[in-house]
Homo-oligomer: A and B are copies of this chain.
C-alpha cells in the first residue's frame, strides 16, 4: 500500500562489501605461477561479467587489506559469490574482518509527492485502482533510471565507503519530521552533491533489514581530497548536521581484477582502462 508519508524507493543491484585482512606471511614466498593460479581461481569464483560486476580495492590501514564489492542480481547470487570466494585456495590467506549487505536504492522524495498528487487526482487513494496505477507509474520510473539502479562500477581510482543512519534522537528525530521537511532537507543535500558532479560518483544502497546501519554510501573519485571536501561541506547542511549518524569509514585504491596477482606479489596494482 503506497503511503504518502513514506518516500518510495527503487531497487537495483544487491551489494556485498567483503573486507579481508591478507596473511602476507603465507603469500610472501610463493612463486609467480602459484600467485597467478590463486588469482585465476578468484576471478573464476566471482563469475562471468553478465552475472554482475565485482570491484577490487586495496585498502589503507588495519581494517582491511583488500575489499571486494560484489554487484549482483539477487541475494542468492551474493550467497553464491561469497561461498565461492570462501572456497578458493587464496581464502586460506585471507581473514574476513567485516562486510556490508545492501541493495542499490534510489530514494524518491519529490517523485513520491508528485505521484500521490497525480494518481490521487485520478483514483481514490488506497483503492485497488490507485495502487495499480501507482505501481505502473513506479515501473515507468524504474525503467527510466535503470542505468542508475544497475550502474557500472565507476572507473575511478579512489574509493570511500561508509554506512550511515538518519538520527532518531530524543530532540532531533528524522522519522518524526514531516514528509515536507524531510523532502526539503534531502533537496538541499542533493544540491551540494550536484556541485561535485563529474568529480565524484556516488552509489547509495539501502540496508534496513540487512545490516547494522540504514544506508551504505560508496564514493568513487580520481582525487581522494574530493571525498574530504564533499563530505565536510555536506556535514553543514541540515540533513547531515542535525540528522546524520556515520559509521566507520573505509578508503583505498581500486584496481582491475587482472592486476590481482601483481598485488599478491607485492606491487600496488593499477586500475586499467
**A residues within 8 Å of B by Cβ?**
1, 3, 5-6, 9, 11, 14, 16, 18-19, 22, 24-25, 28, 58, 60-63, 65, 75-76, 78-80, 82-84, 86-87, 89, 91-92, 96-101, 103, 105, 157-158, 160, 162, 168-173, 175-176, 195, 206-212, 219, 224-225, 227-233, 235-236, 238, 240-242, 244, 248-249, 251-253, 263, 266-268
**CA gap between A236 and B208 in the complex, in Å:** 13
In the complex, 12 of the A-B residue pairs with CB atoms within 8 angstroms, ordered by the A residue number, are A6-B236, A11-B225, A24-B87, A61-B211, A75-B158, A79-B253, A105-B228, A208-B235, A210-B224, A210-B249, A211-B249, A211-B251
- Given A249-B210, A253-B79, A268-B83: A62 and B230 interface contact (C-beta under 8 Å): no
Counted per complex, copies of this chain come to 5
Interchain CB contact under 8 A, A219 and B209: yes
**CA gap between A65 and B82 in the complex, in Å:** 9
Task: Determine which of B62, B103, B263 lies in contact with A228 in the assembled complex, contact meaning CB atoms within 8 Å.
Answer: B103
- Which residues of chain B come closer than 8 Å to A211, judged between CB atoms? 61, 249, 251
- Which residues of chain B come closer than 8 Å to A22, judged between CB atoms? 86
Interchain CB contact under 8 A, A266 and B87: yes
